[in-house]
Each structure stands twice: as C-alpha cells, then as structure tokens.
Amino acid sequence: MAEAKPNINLGLEGVYFTESSVCKIDGIAGRLWYRGYPIEELADQSTFEEVSYLLLYGRLPKRKELDDFSSQLAEERALPEKTARIIADMSGKTDPMHVMATAASSLSAYDREADDTTRDANLRKSVRLISKLTSIVSSIGRYSAGMEAMQPDGNMGHIENFLYTLTGRRPSADAVSNTQAMFILQAEHSSNASTFSALVTASTLSDIYSAVTTGINTLKGPLHGEADEAALRMLRAIGTPDNTERYIEEALAGKQRIMGFGHRIYKTYDPRARIIKRRLEALQGSASEEIGRLTQIALRAEKLMIDRLGQSHGIWPNIDFFAGPVYLSAGIPVELFTPIFAASRVSGWCAHILEYWQNNRLIRPLDYYTGTLDLKYVPIDAR
C-alpha cells in the first residue's frame, strides 16, 4: 500500500513547535507585546537596557537592578584584542554580516565561562553578547570607513555609547531617542527565522555563542534582516517626491516587489511601523535635506500602497519601510542596518534560548521523501 502523503506546511507556516512567554503577536489586530507589555509603551517610555532586562528575566527591573544591569553592560563593551583584529582585517572586504558572525563566534575563545552551561553563566554570557555585539557593529563601521575603532565610554548609556563610538562625536538627544526606539522595536519578534534557527542550534545543547552566531547568519538573508536596506535603496531610487507615484505604479505594473510592505504575520499595519513613522514625521523640520526628501517620498509611497493594496490585499507597511531615514538621521550608514538589527535582536535570541533550555528537546522535523527507491548500483566504469 502506498504511503499516504502527509500535510506539508511549507516554511513551517502555521506550525507551533514550542510554548513561550517572551513575546505575543496579534497579526490580525496589529498588536505586539514583550513579556505582556505593549510595544507602544516600551518604545516611548523605556530604554534598551530595561527592555533587555525584561526579555532576559521576564519582568521589569527595580531601580537598583537596572543600574546594576546597565553597569554590567558598560563593563563588557571592550572587545578582545584578537576579535578587534578580526574586524579590522575583514571590514571592507566582505559583507558586514560575515564580519559580525565571525567576530561574534570568536568571542567564545575569550570567555572564561564559555563551557559553563548553568543558567546563571548563560545569563552573564547573554549580557556580554548584548554589549559586545553593539561594539562589533560600531567597529565594523569605523574600520569600513578607513578609521580606527574608538574606545567605549563607560559613562554613557548603551545607545549613546554606540552612536559615539560609531560617529566619533557625542550624539544629539533626537539621535539617541530614535535609535533607542529602533533597538527596542527590533529586540524581539517571536519565532521569526533567525530566532528559530538559533533555537535549532541551541536544542542540540550547543553553546549560546554558537546559537547566536546561527541567528546572525540567518538574519543576513534578504527575506529577513536586509529588508530595511532594500527599502532605503528603493526610496533613493525614486529620487524625488514627485516621482513617487510613477515609480510605484510602474513597479506594480511590472509585478515588482515594493520593499517594506507586507509581512508573514501582520495582516494589517505593523505596530512598529506606526511608531517609527511618527518619529520620522517629527524629524522633518530639523533633519537634513536628504532626510526631508526621503520622508516625503516614503509618506507618498505609503499612501499609494495603502490605497492600492492595503484593505484589498492585506499588504501594509512594516517596520523596514520607515527605518532607513531614521537611521540615516542618526549618522548610521546603510551597510550597518542589518548588523544593527542583529545587535538589537540578540536580546530576544538570548531570552528564547534561555527559555527553551528550561525544557529542551532536540528540534528534528520530518521531510516527505519524493525520490525513487531500490536503484541498482552501477560500477563507475559501466556508467
């Protein structure tokens, strides 16, 4: 009797593989919660340090707990000398995400607790990863631009120090606030591709550095982490606000994908996009001429796309669409958008890894074989 073909969910779409208390997404209503807290409140009122604590420990910290956690992050910013050398040698010669993955993997060689699998040790390693991945990104930016990496400033907050070590100057309050909002919004998003791949690695009881490196490599793909880069390049290709409608109409007629629109989970407006859109609109009066122009293009493209495909096809703006101009306004170059995504998302990766290890089971799905069987082996000289 022939084997009955099972139901196959391509891309594991609609398949549940675990339980989690880290994040909740309501894709129909357009809602997002971290550990039960609405993303709107966290983005407007919290800090990346506090959100990272929330994700790792499952609750908001008290004042002393947050101060201690922030101090731990500040103490871990410096990179091992050989990791810094890897970044210096590779930057400008390959994709920044290759550099980031290699540098992140190297950190385990200089961690005295690398082989300690206790929960407390993995929490400490999570803090090191959250801190050092941001230092890796700023170092990649400096070396790629032909400059030396800067030493971190322990008196600055996480985001302020990142912008300072990237640009070489103390950032404005707006730059810190908007970049911090982006870090918070990208810190976690349930079992997305990179989180799932990190958990696949973690489920083998590999170490947390290996699992995070897996997440970085997954995030590199254009269908996941590189979408904000592609969206900005599209806005720049449009050129001027008055060219927006013609460009979008021609792209739609040619069945080209409009970057920054549509999402596997959200069937309505991405709540993260709403937050960043408001911040981008607030920048218009004080930003550079380029940011003003890109903002006008983005808003006109958004209106056209919603009119054409929003209600009828469920294709709405996602966070990637508005991210580029916000990053540019803070002095962040486009080639660092995806590495910053990883430096933000590492908080969520670590939270999920720690949670999964509490009830670990090796992730081993099945595939349905469609090839032939019992073929006769033919010696090489008779083929």
- How far the first Cα of the chain sits from its last, in Å, is 33
Q: What is the CA radius of gyration of the chain?
A: 22
Which of 111, 158, 189, 263 is catalytic? The answer is: 263
Whether 96 contacts 342, CB under 8 Å? no
Is residue 189 annotated as part of the catalytic site, yes or no? no
Rounded-to-integer distance, Cα 322 and Cα 126, Å? 29
352 catalytic? Reply is no
Cα(314)–Cα(292) distance, rounded to whole angstroms?
Answer: 28
Active site residue 224: yes
Listing DSSP states for 325-364 in one string gives HHHHHTT--GGGHHHHHHHHHHHHHHHHHHHHHTT-----
Please tell me the distance from the alpha carbon of residue 252 to that of residue 255, in angstroms, as a whole number. Answer: 5
Element (H, E) at 214: helix 208-219
For residues 344 and 43, give the distance between their C-alpha atoms in angstroms, rounded to a whole number. Answer: 13
Contact at 8 Å (CB) between 350 and 126? yes
Distance CA 93, CA 146 (A): 12
What H or E segment, with its residue span, contains residue 183? Answer: helix 173-185
Catalytic-labelled residue, pool 207, 228, 270, 320: 320
Catalytic residue among 224, 228, 242, 381: 224
Dihedral-angle region of residue 88 (phi above 0 means left; psi in -120 to 50 means alpha; beta otherwise)? alpha
Annotate 273-323 with three-state secondary structure.
HHHHHHHHHHHCCCCCHHHHHHHHHHHHHHHHHHHHHHHHHCCCECHHHHH
Q: How many CB atoms lie within 10 A of CB 371?
A: 5
* Active site (catalytic) residues: 224, 263, 320
